[in-house]
Amino acid sequence: MDEKMMQLLAVMNPELAPILALLQDNTPAEKPKKKPSAYNRRYAAAYRRIKRKHTLKNGNMAKGWTGKRGHARIVKMAHAEAKKGGRKR
């Protein structure tokens, strides 16, 4: 809530004033976003590349690449590729 709304509520309900003051003071500060590491960028690119390779034109995954086991296979292959240093041309 904005400050004017809090003041208005405090004037209308004096018994709520201490609670509203606590709410106003405890607004959490947003953490700055962390920059993705080089490994994370390589892994994400490898994951997208491998997933795209095993996806059919209609959007379904190819036979043997569906469900949790298919996802786990893609993750394992992407980690292996990222660990080696990324895509070799």
How is 11-74 classified by DSSP, letter by letter? HH-GGGHHHHHHHHHTPPPPPPPPPPPHHHHHHHHHHHHHHHHTB-TTSPBPTT--HHHHHHHH
Per the structure, the complete domain to which residue 66 belongs is given by 38-84
Residues 6+ apart with CB under 8 A from 43: 78, 79, 82
Whether 8 is covered by a domain: the verdict is: no
pLDDT digits (tens, 9 = 90+) for 27-47: 667 888 899 999 999 999 999
Q: Are 74 and 47 in contact (CB under 8 A)?
A: yes
Whether 5 is covered by a domain: the verdict is: no
Whether 10 is covered by a domain: the verdict is: no
Whether 18 is covered by a domain: the verdict is: no
pLDDT by position in tens, the chain (length 89): 567 777 777 778 777 777 777 776 666 678 888 999 999 999 999 999 999 999 999 999 999 999 999 999 999 999 999 999 866 66
Two tokens, residue 60 = 């379904």
pTM over 0.85: no
Number of folded domains in the chain? 1
